Structure 1
Amino acid sequence: MTTLAASVLRITDLDRALLWWVRLGFGEEFRHQFEPGLPWYVGIVREEARVHLSQHAGDAAGPGLVYLWVDDVDAVAAEFGATVEDMPWARDCEVVDPDGNRVRAATALSAG
């Protein structure tokens, strides 16, 4: 059995949010709008990591926090001008999207 989860983050400007998340290597998976002019609900994906971005005021009051495991936290930090910190469990950095949602990207420490 496989279990996957998707975090839901509140956004205000869909185009601005998507451009930001593309920098983290995410691509659009789906887009839903009940009727023209109503808020968007969009799924984005990077490998097995999924995040849902919602313009609906009642979804995820936010700002939120997502923790991502990546192969190269240094590349993420360089892309966003962030500082990498050494933690007991990983090397990680924090970046903030245009809506104030925090994203911590981490690379696990090698065993041994």
Structure 2
Amino acid sequence: MDLTTSDAKAAARMLRADLAERQITISHSAALETVAHQLGYRDWNTAGASLGEPRADAAGLGTPVPILRVQRFEDARDFYLGYLGLHIEWEHRFEPGMPLYVRLSRGDMCLDLSEHHGDGTPGSSVWIPVADVGALHEELEQKDYPSVRPGVEQDAPGGRP
């Protein structure tokens, strides 16, 4: 049986739940790292890239994950987590004090934020398909986030018809 990243993530969730029953708390990223090690991988990034997901496409092409450059993730945390409602799937640093690399997701959408110089291109745009742009717009309007006034362009791709 070929394991997928979904299988490994399920194992990490089960590990956290089992440990929680024993009053041992670990982060989701620590559980992912542990599962990756148990599967023989150096770290979760390597496991995630190697395991993949089964695809109908014979070449195994998956959904692209945009990488956006941030100077400091702590400065961007409230925007991505609080305002946009994304959650952290995992975080990685090669060692303490090194730049942070973070995978964020919400629903089927995920993107990576990197503090590494050279990752991402400043000024890049990412177009994310949204099933109900009206519902997302309403959700964002309800949040008080400084300097952001979301709008929906009527004639833009993916905008309201």
Q: TM-score, normalised by structure 1?
A: 0.71
RMSD: 2.0
1:66 aligned onto 2:129: no
Q: Secondary structure of 1:51's partner?
A: strand
Matches within 5 A, 1:66-105: 66-70=126-130, 71=132, 72-75=135-138, 78=141, 79=143, 80-87=148-155, 89-91=157-159
Contact 1:9 1:63 in 2 (8 A): no
The answer for unaligned runs of 5 or more in structure 2 is 1-54, 57-61
> More helix by proportion, 1 or 2?
2
Q: Which residue of 2 aligns with 1:28?
A: 88
Report the counterpart of residue 42 of structure 2 in structure 1.
none
Larger RCO, structures 1/2 (Cα 8 Å, 6+ apart): 1
- What is residue 96 of structure 1 aligned with on the other side? none
Q: CA deviation at 1:36?
A: 0.8
2:112 match:
52
Q: How many residues align?
A: 93
Query: CA–CA distance in 2 between the matches of 1:69 and 1:76?
Result: 16
Greater strand percent: which structure?
1
3-state secondary structure, aligned to 1:18 = helix
Paired with 2:126 and 2:156, the residues of 1 have a C-alpha distance of 19
Higher-Rg structure is 2
How many percent of aligned residue pairs carry the same amino acid?
Answer: 27
